[in-house]
Structure 1
Amino acid sequence: MQHQGVTLWFTGLSGSGKTTIAKAVEHELKARHCKVEMLDGDIVRTNLSKGLTFSKQDRDINVRRIGFVANLLSRNGVVAITAAISPYRAIRNEIREMTQSFMEVYVNAPLEVCESRDVKGLYALARSGEIKNFTGIDDPYEEPLNPEVICYTAKESIEESVGKVIAELERYNYISMRQLATMAV
């Protein structure tokens, strides 16, 4: 039984594993009968933020929109899971301040690992200059200073990372503890 809603904010470089872990957390929460909504950065950009560029101003607008929707959901008892690069610390902190229940998950993977996982070839395009303002190449990624959870996806299994997130959700009483829970990943 879920106690309250929360915005579960996954941040990290492209290819760090945000969406993979977020989807596995979503699966586990649904198995526990929690109300859950997933707000993936690419999907939101297509449907809610169409026409925005990758300038800092437009990225901030996109993140604010994701944060606004996540806050609406979480204050109504939903675990709102976001998976967006959200590269700038100030805007993430702004979302934290406006959100009643907020948990930041930093999905940390070295740039080389993220590049090796890049099935779309975006890093190569950015390095060749075909894509401008690409986070981690010619635009900064500002690591969170005090995230509630850090997942080291180059060292941990998906199950280990998911376990860390679920444990923190339980610790903060956002979800009920499950006796002898088995991870449904």
Structure 2
Amino acid sequence: MYRDSNTRTLLKTVTWRITATATTTILVFLFTGAIDTAIQVGLLELLAKMLFYYLHERGWDKIKWGKEEVPAFVLWITGIPCSGKTTLATMIKEELSKEKLRVQHLDSHDVRPLFPETGFTREEVNNHIKRVGHLASMLEKNGIITIASFVSPYRESRTFVRKLCQNYVEVHLDTTAEVARRYDHNGFYKKVDEGIYKNVPGVDVEYEICENTEYTLDMTEKNLEEAKQEIMQVIKSRYIK
């Protein structure tokens, strides 16, 4: 997903040649005792080898042999509110970033405010997830690994997103509202109890499980670190060889 730009290659050429030429100049001086000769040889070598090194680097950059391609993919993390989706997605993004990969995290907390008129009826939620799915698929087509963390409770919209993406992995964080309440640090379920939030999956709306979900993690028994390790193993076995 990354390649050296011409400018980067040129900078590498210059810094390496300064180091190498200084070494050559010192060695010539030690053998001949003539500082003028040492400087002349050093300058000649500097110019000649900078040119050849630059051509060598650009030539290798055009050769595909030995390069390991990591295909872009969409990792869709779904589950009821406060099941750990955002935190888990952030952890996975950090792991993938260590591999020097281009990764984008799409999260409901960041995306939904862009569409403030969107409500929480079944139709509105489905349309919202479809919009996000289009964005995720576009990022994937442009070579960017995309991690999406959304409740996305309905089969219809998740199936729609799956069909849009070329490489799609769906992970369902399976838990109960009772367990999710333990990880609710923002008072979400308090507002549910007060009747402020309605149409909440796992409370007054069913979360629809898909039969073709790639991985279902039982979050009543696992912690987020264990979940991260499992998902990273899946990603590495599929995409990062």
Secondary structure of residue in 1 paired with 2:76: strand
Secondary structure of residue in 1 paired with 2:128: helix
CA distance in 2, matches of 1:55, 1:114: 22
Conservation of the 8 A alpha-carbon contact between 2:126 and 2:156: no
Conservation of the 8 A alpha-carbon contact between 1:127 and 1:137: no
Secondary structure of residue in 2 paired with 1:138: coil
Conservation of the 8 A alpha-carbon contact between 2:80 and 2:177: yes
1:104 paired with 2:164, answer no
Secondary structure of residue in 2 paired with 1:58: helix
1:5 paired with 2:72, answer yes
Report which structure shows greater RCO (CA 8 Å, sep ≥6).
1
CA distance in 2, matches of 1:64, 1:169: 24
Q: CA deviation at 1:2?
A: 5.1
1:147 paired with 2:213, answer yes
Q: CA deviation at 1:134?
A: 1.6
CA distance in 1, matches of 2:180, 2:236: 29
Q: CA deviation at 1:128?
A: 3.3
Residue in structure 2 matched with residue 36 of structure 1 by the alignment: 103
CA distance in 1, matches of 2:83, 2:209: 13
What is the TM-score normalised by the length of structure 2?
0.68
| Residue ranges of structure 1 left out of the alignment (5+ in a row) | 177-185
Of 164, 173, 181, 2:230 maps to: 164
Aligned length: 174
Report the identity percentage.
30
Whose Rg is larger?
A: 2
Residue in structure 2 matched with residue 113 of structure 1 by the alignment: 179
Residue in structure 1 matched with residue 94 of structure 2 by the alignment: 27
* Bigger proportion of residues as helix: 2
Of 132, 142, 146, 1:80 maps to: 146
CA distance in 2, matches of 1:64, 1:133: 18
Further displaced range: 95-104 or 111-120? 111-120
What is the TM-score normalised by the length of structure 1?
0.88
Secondary structure of residue in 1 paired with 2:158: helix
| Residue ranges of structure 2 left out of the alignment (5+ in a row) | 1-67
